[in-house]
């Protein structure tokens, strides 16, 4: 699928949908080569992991700092993209070293390259968005063009971050347990500078620990549930090479609709009537009519106008 036309977007993205950042972000950051989730409950855990991590990070930060500084947001975006660019290949490379006895890397070359392309695309979009937001206000009349483009890129990157946090650059195509592992490693590395320096942001010990460890602890707990469910239900272990994993169950076969007996005349109308013609109503009563008119009077009675005579009377004329 890597080299076929339309393999990234699945060939279903129109020019009108490309103008909408929501649809464009899904086509770019959730491409068609990413495998579907093996279990709806696992997909729900991914969403919970994303929502819980975002609330823990953004909510605590807003409470501590009293709001967001625009320049600091841009700096954090660049820092996060740099961390992703470094730690994701390093973690995947470490797992390839762990899997070296179970199979070769050659079999995983295609999904690895696809994941690397998706990572570079996301990081490049973040850098472009930050550049537009910083330079657009000082471009004079060009802001009429760069301003809408910058806003489009903000929505595009935000929606892309949602997709990337769920599939983590399509690494599920390499190994199903890689997304929860990478989510855990990334959140802990984001909190590592504060842990090493002991910077509690002017807070007490309790609030400082909550501020620093809120997001990584939340994401780690949900990621462990996700990986544990994959191991118990499908036998997918993180330390096993993807080539040695058991085959995943296929989709359930489609169920046939229930049988319904034919309604009305099973033979229907053999020949449709010509246009503008309606069949006459069916005949009423006996369809064969009356072949002979009924006799008048008594057929065996005496003829009218004569009195009854005894045929054996000797005086009968």
**CB–CB of 40/233 below 8 Å?**
no
Q: Which of 21-25, 302-306, 311-315 has the highest mean pLDDT?
A: 21-25
Could you tell me if 200 and 212 are in contact, meaning their C-beta atoms sit under 8 angstroms apart?
A: yes
pLDDT at 210 over 60: yes
Query: CA 112, CA 109: separation in Å to the nearest integer?
Result: 5
Q: Which of 48-52, 111-115, 211-215, 245-249 has the highest mean pLDDT?
A: 111-115
Domain ranges of the chain: 39-244
pTM higher than 0.85, yes or no?
no
Q: Phi/psi at 128 (nearest 5 deg)?
A: -65, -40
The distance between the two most distant Cα atoms of the chain, rounded to a whole number of Å, is 157
What is the spatial distance between Cα 169 and Cα 122, in angstroms, rounded to a whole number?
Answer: 9
Each residue's pLDDT tens digit, 222-272: 889 888 988 988 889 999 988 888 777 655 566 666 666 666 666 655 566
Tokens standing for residue 95: 């797992």
Tell me how far the alpha carbon of residue 302 is from its chain's centroid. 99
Structure tokens at 106: 């050659």
Other Cβ atoms closer than 10 A to 220? 19
Q: What is the pLDDT of residues 270-296, one digit of tens each?
A: 566 566 655 566 666 666 656 566 666
Q: Looking at residue 1, what is its pLDDT?
A: 40
Task: Give residue 270's pLDDT.
Answer: 57
Structure-block tokens of residue 188: 């802990």
């Amino acid at each position: 699928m890597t080299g076929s036309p339309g393999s990234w977007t699945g060939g279903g993205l129109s020019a009108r949908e490309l103008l909408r950042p929501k649809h464009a972000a899904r086509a770019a950051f959730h491409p068609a080569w990413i495998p579907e989730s093996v279990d709806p409950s696992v997909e729900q855990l991914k969403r919970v992991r994303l929502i819980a991590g975002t609330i823990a990070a953004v909510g605590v930060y807003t409470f501590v700092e009293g709001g967001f500084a625009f320049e600091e947001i841009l700096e954090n975006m660049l820092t996060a993209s740099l961390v992703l660019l470094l730690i994701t290949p390093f973690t995947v490379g470490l797992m390839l070293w762990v899997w070296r006895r179970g199979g070769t890397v050659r079999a995983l070359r295609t999904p690895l390259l696809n994941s690397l392309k998706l990572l570079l695309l996301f990081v490049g979009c973040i850098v472009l968005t930050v550049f537009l937001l910083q330079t657009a206000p000082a471009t004079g009349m060009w802001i009429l063009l760069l301003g809408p483009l910058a806003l489009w890129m903000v929505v595009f990157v935000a929606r892309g971050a949602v997709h990337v946090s769920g599939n983590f650059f399509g690494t599920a195509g390499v190994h199903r347990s890689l997304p929860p592992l990478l989510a855990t490693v990334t959140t802990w590395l984001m909190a590592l500078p504060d842990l090493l320096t002991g910077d509690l942001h002017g807070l007490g010990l309790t609030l400082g620990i909550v501020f620093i460890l809120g997001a990584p602890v939340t994401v780690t707990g949900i990621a462990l549930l996700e990986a544990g469910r994959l191991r118990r239900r499908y036998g997918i272990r993180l330390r096993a090479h993807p080539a040695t994993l058991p085959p995943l169950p296929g989709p359930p076969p489609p169920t046939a609709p229930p049988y319904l007996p034919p309604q009305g005349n099973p033979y229907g109308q053999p020949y449709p009537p010509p246009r503008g013609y309606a069949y006459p109503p069916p005949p009423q009563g006996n369809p064969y009519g009356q072949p002979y008119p009924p006799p008048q009077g008594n057929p065996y009675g005496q003829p009218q106008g004569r009195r009854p005579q005894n045929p054996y009377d000797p005086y009968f004329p």
